[in-house]
Amino acid sequence: MKKSLSSFIKIPSTLWNKKWLGVVLVLGLSSCEQLLKEEPKFIVAENFFNTAAEVEAATNAIYSPLRSTNYAVYETSLECQADYAYGRGSWAPLHEHQGLNDANISRVAGLWNAFYLSIRNANLVIQNAPKGKAISPADINKYVGEAKFLRAFNYFQLVRNWAGVPLRTEENMTQIDLRRSSVEEVYTLIQADLKEAETNLPDKPANVGRPSKWAAKTLLADVYLTLGKYTEARDKADEVIKSGKFSLVPIASKADFQTKVYGPELVSTTEEIFYLKYTRQVDQGNYMLWITNHPSTNLFNFGGAYVVYGQTTEPLYKGWNDADIRKSLWEKVNIGLGANTVISSKFADQKAISQTGAGNDDPVYAYADVLLIYAEAATRVNNAPTAQALEALNQVRRRGYGKTPTAVSSVDFVLADYNASTFVDAVIQERAYEFLYLGKRWLDLKRIGKVKEAIKAAKNVNVADKHLLWPVPTSELNFNKAMDPVKDQNPGY
């Protein structure tokens, strides 16, 4: 470029040469294609994925679509559908259970996009890492394992809320038109990915927040439980328990929950298995606090939208023992909807730096989950509660009541009181107490086939069939020509 510019500038000295214009034209033409070549100061995909550091940066990008505000919105959307909770304002149709309206359809469409964006980034790693020029086979396995864990994680969310979905893998990631796969096909991929992840992921990852092989086993246990593969679920959960690497954090008060279990300043805890990590940085914090908090609570220094709340008149709240410290995390707050309103104080950060700048991690899979998966799966396999299953359940319960998790206590369930069915019910109930506000209840109710029963009991509402699945976004149906906009839409939409 410089060369040709200077040739332009020389023109005055060659003016008397009548051919000057021709000279300029020739100079211009010969160098113009070079002038028009773009030389950006950023990386293009074609030159990437060569070193371990590059592949790691690409792997990190799989987390971004989940971690942004999306996962908090996802959990809240699920929570508004739970039997014990209500959605406020535009989220209200979720608890009315008659199918999603426009506002919620577009909201869950955003979640679909986020899961698939995360899947695309995983596929890029799975496809490109093995071709890297300066990366060791061990590193390739590690990052591909991480990508497959996250791809399975995303598909697990998709399949449970939308049923069968287009199955995008590294093989077909650029194919615009792709048919909707069956639920079985999706689960087949999830299991295959997780088995590979379980093998290739490290025992202790380099950073807290990346999945370990134990995270893969936990997720696999949850998948098996969902599929009714109770033996496999029990065994995977048992492997995690037996590893001895995890334990519940003992607590003595509500404040302990808010600081030692869900606290904003924790880097990690002994019960962390797979969390989405947040920190007090601009747009790198947990959005859940803003979504759930009410400005009057003083739990969060940036107000809040209080979109999900409970009522003290609901069966779950009424039946909840006051001695359970976890109950106190439902706080009575007058948000203008009457004196019986309760909202969660599980997450608190008074030193957040913005609406999206709270430090609390999102405990997607904690040790309590492993214990309760084990308790349920073992009971179902045995067709009766086992001592080990009882111990698993009791550990969670004891901690909830402020007791030492591993020591026998006055609040323990007693084996003799339960058969398989009532014990599973108790486990499911314990999951509700333990995972309040984490978006697990609705999926649990769907999994055990008790959605309609539970909602009817709590709210006296008949759940419409269409409410059981979220609609496939029109942004998919309109532009994916391998899907039929009518036949491939979920029922009722």
Partner 1 sequence: MQKNGRTKAFLLKAMRMTVTQLAMLILFCGLASARDTKAQEVLNTTISLKIEAVEIKRVFSTIEKQAGVKFVYSPNAIRADQKVSLATTNKLSEVLKELLQPLQISYEVVGSRILLRKKMPEKAALSDEISTPVPNATVPSDQVVKGTVVDNEKGEPLPGVSVLLKGTQRGATTNPNGEFSLSVPNGDAVLVFSFVGYEPQELVVGNRTQINIKLKVDTKALEEVVVVGYGVVKKSDLTGSVAQVKSKELNSFPTANVLQALSGRAAGVQVTQNTGAPGGGVSVRIRGTNSIQGSNEPLYVVDGFPTTGSNPTILNNVDIESIEILKDASATAIYGSRGANGVVLITTKRGKSGKTKVDFETSFTSQTLIRKLDLMNANEYATFYNKQAANDNLAPYFTQAQLDGFGQGFDWQNLVFQKAPMKTTSLNISGGNDKTQFSVSGSFFGQDGIIKGSDYKRYSLRTNLTHKVSDKFSVNLSTTLSRLKTDRRDSEGGSRGNSMISAAISAPPTLMPYNDDGSYRVLAIAYPFVATDLINPLNFINEQTNRIKANRVLANAALIYNPIPEITVRISGGIENADDRTDNYTTRNYINSLGRASVSTTQQTSLLNENTISYNKTFGQGHNISAVAGVTYQDFVTTTLSASGTGFLSDIIETGGLGSAITPGIPESGYSKSVLLSYLGRVNYNLKDKYLITASIRRDGSSRYSEGNKWGYFPSGAVAWRVSSEEFMKTIPFVSDLKLRASWGLTGSQAISPYATLNQLSSFRTVFDDALFTTFSPGTRLPGNLKWETTEQKDIGVDVGILNNRVLLTADYYIKNTRDLLNTVVLPSSLGFTSTIQNIGEVQNKGFEFGIDSRLFTGAFKWDVNANISFNRNKVVKLYGGGDILTGNVNVVVINDVTSILREGQPIGQFWGYVEDGYTEKGAIKFKDLDGNGTITQTDKTYIGDPNPNFIYGFNSTMSYKNFDLSLFIQGVQGNDLFNVSSIVNTMDYGFGLNMPREVLYNHWTPSTPNAKYPIISRNTTTRVSNRFIEDGSYLRLRTIQLAYNLPLEKWGIKWVRSAQVYGSGQNLLTFTNYSWWDPEVNSRGGSNSTIQGIDHNSYPTAKSVTAGLRVSF
Query: Min. distance of Cβ 436 from partner 1 in angstroms?
Result: 23
Closest residue by Cα to residue 377 from 259, 230, 266: 230
Query: Min. distance of Cβ 251 from partner 1 in angstroms?
Result: 21
Query: Min. distance of Cβ 374 from partner 1 in angstroms?
Result: 28
In the list 298, 479, 484, 485, the residue contacting partner 1 (rule: CB under 8 A) is: 479
In the list 30, 136, 270, 281, the residue contacting partner 1 (rule: CB under 8 A) is: 281
Query: Min. distance of Cβ 373 from partner 1 in angstroms?
Result: 25
Q: What are the residues facing 308 on neighbouring strands?
A: 87
Minimum CB distance to partner 1 smaller for 110 or for 130: 110
Closest residue by Cα to residue 396 from 248, 242, 269: 248
CB neighbour burial string for 315-348, b if at least 16 within 10 angstroms, e if fewer: ebbeebeeebbbbebbeebebeeeeebbbbbbbb
Locate tokens 């008949």: which residue? 462
Map the footprint of partner 1 across residues 284-313, applying CB under 8 A: 284, 295-296, 301-303, 305
In the list 165, 186, 308, 443, the residue contacting partner 1 (rule: CB under 8 A) is: 165
* Per-residue binding letters, 430-469, with partner 1 (x by CB under 8 A): ----------------------------------------
In the list 17, 30, 64, 422, the residue contacting partner 1 (rule: CB under 8 A) is: 64
Report angle CA 321, 326, 328 to the nearest 5 degrees. 80
In the list 174, 387, 410, 487, the residue contacting partner 1 (rule: CB under 8 A) is: 174
Minimum CB distance to partner 1 smaller for 161 or for 395: 161
Question: Can you tell me the distance from the alpha carbon of 76 to that of 286, in angstroms, rounded to the nearest whole number?
Answer: 13
- The footprint of partner 1 on this chain (CB under 8 A) covers a number of residues equal to 91
* Per-residue binding letters, 344-363, with partner 1 (x by CB under 8 A): ---------xx--x-x----
Map the footprint of partner 1 across residues 115-134, applying CB under 8 A: 116-117, 119-121, 123-124
Instruction: Give all strands (DSSP E) within 212-332, no chain letters.
Output: 272-276, 308-311, 330-332
Dmax over CA atoms of the chain, in Å, equals 111
Residue 284 in contact with residue 357, Cβ under 8 Å? yes
Report angle CA 464, 469, 475 to the nearest 5 degrees. 125
Stretch that binds partner 1, among 161-169, 192-200, 341-349, 369-377 (CB under 8 A): 161-169
Question: Can you tell me the distance from the alpha carbon of 68 to that of 70, in angstroms, rounded to the nearest whole number?
Answer: 5
- Rounded to 5 degrees, φ, ψ at 399 are -60, -40
The verdict on 368 binding partner 1 (CB under 8 A) reads no
Locate tokens 């699920």: which residue? 78
* Per-residue binding letters, 68-107, with partner 1 (x by CB under 8 A): ---------------------xx-----------xx--x-
Map the footprint of partner 1 across residues 376-395, applying CB under 8 A: none
Which residues are CB-contacts of 25 (< 8 A; sequence separation ≥ 6)?
A: none
Question: Can you tell me the distance from the alpha carbon of 155 to that of 126, in angstroms, rounded to the nearest whole number?
Answer: 15
* DSSP run (H or E) holding 344: strand 341-344
Q: What are the residues facing 362 on neighbouring strands?
A: 276
Map the footprint of partner 1 across residues 394-433, applying CB under 8 A: none
Map the footprint of partner 1 across residues 27-56, applying CB under 8 A: 28, 32-33, 35-46, 48, 54
Stretch that binds partner 1, among 170-178, 190-198, 248-256, 394-402 (CB under 8 A): 170-178
Question: Can you tell me the distance from the alpha carbon of 373 to that of 380, in angstroms, rounded to the nearest whole number?
Answer: 11
Minimum CB distance to partner 1 smaller for 306 or for 413: 306
Minimum CB distance to partner 1 smaller for 39 or for 322: 39
Q: Which pair of structure tokens corresponds to residue 405?
A: 């998790």
Minimum CB distance to partner 1 smaller for 401 or for 493: 493
